[in-house]
Amino acid sequence: MKLGYGWARFARGAALGSMLGAVLVLGTQGAQAADIPLQRVVQVEAGTHTLVRESAVIKRVAVGDPAIADVNVINGREVLVSGKKLGITSLMVWTGPNPIEYRIRVGAIKDPVQPATTDPELREAVVEKGYSLQGKLPNLTAHRRAQIAAANGKDQAPDTSVVDLDTQVLTQIKIAEVNRTVAQRYGFNFFKNVGNTTGGIAGPGGLTGVQGGSVSGGGGFNSPSPAPYQLNSGSGFVPLQDAFSLVFGSAADGLLGVLSVLEGKGMARVLAEPSLTAMSGQTASFLAGGEFPIPVAQGGGNTSGAITITYKEFGVRVNLTPTVLSRDRIALKVAPEVSDLDFTAAIQLNGVAVPALSVRRTDTTVELGDGESFVISGLVSSNLVQNVDKVPWLGDVPILGAFFKSASTDRTNRELVMIVTPHLVRPLARAAKLPSLPGQAYDSTTPDYGRLVFEEKGDFKPADYGFGR
């Protein structure tokens, strides 16, 4: 049967419309449609609409999950699809006995960040909200902002970005301590033998007892006449053993006196400069010192009373964890410690003196730039101890009271400062010349015997020796 020109054109148009309806893909890429070859894919963003058109009259529609997408029949051949939340669901459209199935993909709104206008640090990154994060970022804080911009609600977008940072940090720590002490002490002892009478003045602890009866060879203080008593001084009549003593006396008169006066000043300085290199985010430790043994008594079972040895570390210790935030910001968790053996506070354990430890320790977290320095801790302390021992009433007499008392003053001033300085560093290139090591100038020195005997001055300079091996 032959058709007229008008009918033939209508038939070709209907066939073309049917073919277009069979391969309808709205808002998707070819790869997404290829995932579901037998289904039509409808791509819609959350909070937006899209139309699905059919070539025949729509009789009925159904959606798989109304929480993801909502559908409404607009007219006989159009369905309005509204995206509600991220997800995938199905849509069934009946225009005949067999339904047409669609796959609805609801995605996030594509809103690429424009680094030139919103954030200069993101100019080399591609940030698509809800989709991806790509490109190069200058620091961790910019990377975090880009992650927030790329995320959509609680969903994390795929991240293939790169943070362009040096990751190795050299941390220099300076620990400086000055300890100044001032001591002043005064004491006076006086003894007198007269015939059968002995008398004296001794400071606390200077007199250990009194012995009755005469002393052979004269009095208790080398007096010519026998003395009825001898005063036993544990310190040999010296009020202060470590002080300067002025002794005066007369054997003929049975007179002996000792005046002890002491003024002492001292200063001790401790300087430690440990350095340690660590990767960003990793913890490193450093110890320059030693270990001292501690005897420990065991109890229970067959080992009761046995002694074992444990070791305690001391010296200069550093624990640090650097985190590189950007090229000019470093977060540093650092814990430096300096400890010394203190035998003045030692304890006796099974006949062994176990020393105590004098410790200066800091544990803190700071943020600073490459090459900047921060005082992370400091201590200024002053201790003053004064003591006066005197005879009641007599010690209060002006001027003469000095012969009836002893006094001491001890003052200690301590200053402690800890400073940290981090540096971003890179390894030396292969075959690069290494810096001089401590004592390297002496590696090849071989002093000859004649120079060692006749010319050695003890300066130990490399130029004073011959070289070669």
- Mean pLDDT calculated for residue range 200-228: 52
Find which of 56-60, 110-114, 196-200 is predicted with most confidence, using mean pLDDT: 56-60
Does position 314 have pLDDT exceeding 90, yes or no? yes
**Contact present, 52 and 74 (Cβ < 8 Å):** no
Q: How confident is the model at residue 120 (pLDDT cuts 50, 70, 90)?
A: confident
Q: Can you read off the two tokens belonging to residue 118?
A: 């919103």
Does position 454 have pLDDT exceeding 90, yes or no? no
- Mean pLDDT calculated for residue range 57-82: 89
Alpha carbon separation from 66 to 59, 62, 440 (Å, rounded): 19, 9, 79
Q: What is the pLDDT at residue 359?
A: 92
Residues sharing a CB contact under 8 Å with residue 67, sequence separation 6 or more, in sequence order: 84, 85, 87
Does position 256 have pLDDT exceeding 60, yes or no? yes
Q: Can you read off the two tokens belonging to residue 230?
A: 């001898």
> What does the buried/exposed string (b/e) look like for 173-212 if buried means 16 or more CB atoms within 10 Å of the residue's CB?
bbbebeeeeebebbbbbbbbbeeeebebbbbeebbeeeee
Is 31 strand, coil or helix?
helix
CA distance 195 to 117: 110
Question: Which residue type occupies 114?
Answer: Q
CA distance 468 to 441: 12
Q: How confident is the model at residue 215 (pLDDT cuts 50, 70, 90)?
A: very low
Which 8-state DSSP code applies to residue 443?
T
CA distance 5 to 323: 79
Q: How confident is the model at residue 253 (pLDDT cuts 50, 70, 90)?
A: confident
Pick the more confident residue, 316 or 233: 316
- The pair phi, psi for residue 291, each rounded to 5°, is -135, 135
Does position 6 have pLDDT exceeding 70, yes or no? no
Q: What is the pLDDT at residue 244?
A: 76
Does position 298 have pLDDT exceeding 80, yes or no? no
By DSSP bridging, strand 255-272 and strand 275-279 are unpaired
Whether the model pTM is above 0.75: no
- Domain 40-107 of CATH type 2.60.120.260: no
Pick the more confident residue, 321 or 263: 321
Sheet holding 132-137, edge to edge: 125-128, 132-137, 162-163
Q: What is the pLDDT at residue 339?
A: 92
The gap from C-alpha 434 to its chain's centroid, in whole angstroms, comes to 29
Q: Which residues pair with 189 in a beta bridge?
A: 258
Question: Which residue type occupies 6?
Answer: G
Which pLDDT tens digit goes with each residue over 349-369? Answer: 777 788 999 999 999 999 999
Domains of the chain, by residue range, sit at: 40-107, 125-164, 180-266, 268-399+406-439
Lowest mean pLDDT among 117-121, 325-329, 383-387: 117-121
Query: Rounded mean pLDDT of the chain?
Result: 76
Lowest mean pLDDT among 38-47, 60-69, 189-198, 367-376: 189-198
Q: What is the pLDDT at residue 448?
A: 74
In the block, tokens 């010690």 appear at: 395
Q: What is the pLDDT at residue 432?
A: 87
Q: What is the pLDDT at residue 26?
A: 36
Q: Give me the percent of the chain exceeding a pLDDT of 90.
A: 23
- Mean pLDDT calculated for residue range 424-447: 80
Which pLDDT tens digit goes with each residue over 129-160? Answer: 666 677 777 777 777 777 777 776 556 666 76
Q: What is the pLDDT at residue 416?
A: 92
